[in-house]
Amino acid sequence: MKTKKGDIIELTIIKYAFEGKGIAKVSKSKLLGEKTDSDEENYVVFVQNAYPGDKVKARLLKIKNSYAEAVAVEILEFSKYRVQPKCKFFGVCGGCKQQDLEYDLQLHYKQLQVEEVFKNIAGLKEIKSEKIIPSEIIFSYRNKMEFSFSDIRWLTKEELESDQKIERNFALGFHIPKIYDKVLDIDECFLQTELANNIVNFTREFFKSKNVSAYSQKLHKGFLRNLVLRQAFHTKDFMVNIVTSEDEPQLIEDYSKSLLEKFPAITTVVNNINKKLSSVSTGDYEKIIYGSGFIYDYIGKYKFRISSNSFFQTNTIQAEKLYQTVVDFAEFNGNEILYDLYSGAGTITLYVSDFVTELYAFESVNSAVGDAEFNASLNNVNNVKFFLADLYKSFIPVVKTNKIPKPDIIIIDPPRSGMHKNTVNDVAELSPQKIIYVSCNPVTQARDVKMLIEAGYKFIKMRPVDMFPHTYHIENVVLLKKV
């Protein structure tokens, strides 16, 4: 009998795929009821929420000619690699996807997945991949957490089965994956510190006690939109950013005063007012309620000013290991001219500034260029110049207009979407001897590396760096050299 979408089948998981899907192999003829030349078990089924060694009952979600997708609905035999997750919200909030997998195995599979991506997408048969760098701490490692308010609270299975009365029209926490208007009320997240957890819970109770409305994504009304917390790991700075749909000075002043009385460790409080319909935490304008409106932190010996909307590596401790990998791969001789593309607030730029003669940084966001220039001044770095450039059309006009000398080395650290093909072409035209490509998305990185190889570069080596324990995400550093 032919199996169809929605059917439940039993599977044994034998491998692990990118983005945390278990792999099972079955006979296509038996599964689909089709006659084939072979009855070998070589038809692949990707199974969500399953690890190698699991035996599961899985519901089929999608059936294609060459593969199927399914989700585990019951685990019949548990893999020996499973561990008890620390968080009570695991499996519901969607943040930590691998908290129930031994950390050493998380690292092992991340390394394999990156290598497999480069083989399949970049077309590399042999890959020299140095051993993945583990995270020094695997809990309480995030320096920034963003929470959402909602007028519709997502209820867990336990809450639905409970006799306890639960308020359903106010929540502060995380959006359920693929559900835009409901929020899981979070009173504890182990990716942030205990202080941060306490501030989340205080904020919830403060506004509930005053009957302040949470924002509705359906109706686009309500006052409270987001709570964003930023904590420095090498200083004692802590920022609370409350994002609202309107400017209500007295209410926010009362909140700030109560907050600081309870948590004197907070060094600044800001209020972003976001009148846009889109669910972003960046306001149309910002008001500083207490303190300077900034926090400061270090990566290596370099100090950085961080505003409420600045980009800064989320795992401060690991960022230094990531940047040191860049330095190790570059093997600077001290006389190079270096370009840094997608330079942001200048974190990589400044970290490598001691190793080169001249440094030119290019960034598409004007405010980031301003942050970078401030950070360079803050650290007395004088051999770097920052430029606003369109990294989606072409940045070479900026190079030519400003008569910038050609680079010996280019460092590239783009967003998850990777490089625009125009930027790839610009890099190839500039023809540096070395390219060091840093990415949080190995898929787009491998795609871009393939284009650079076709443009005359040779893949030398790469090294993954785990910045995000318990998630599928991984940073990867690649070294390319001109042939």
- List, by residue number, the catalytic residues: 440
d(CA 95, CA 429): 40
Looking at residue 456, its amino acid is G
Angle between helices 194-209 and 249-262 (to 10 degrees): 140
Closest CA to 18 of 148, 120, 99, 86: 120
Q: Which helix (H) or strand (E) holds 470?
A: none
Torsions phi, psi for 366 (to 5 deg): -60, -45
DSSP for 46-78 reads EEET--TT-EEEEEEEEE-SSEEEEEEEEEEE-
3-class DSSP state of 23: strand
Q: Are 129 and 111 in contact (CB under 8 A)?
A: yes
The Cα angle at residue 379 between residues 376 and 385, in degrees rounded to 5: 20
d(CA 409, CA 358): 11
Spatial neighbors of 310 by CB under 8 A, at least 6 apart, are 345, 368, 371
3-class DSSP state of 157: helix
CA 69 to chain CA centroid, nearest Å: 25
Q: In what order do the strands lie in the sheet with 183-185?
A: 153-154, 183-185, 171-175, 144-150, 224-231, 238-244, 268-273, 285-290
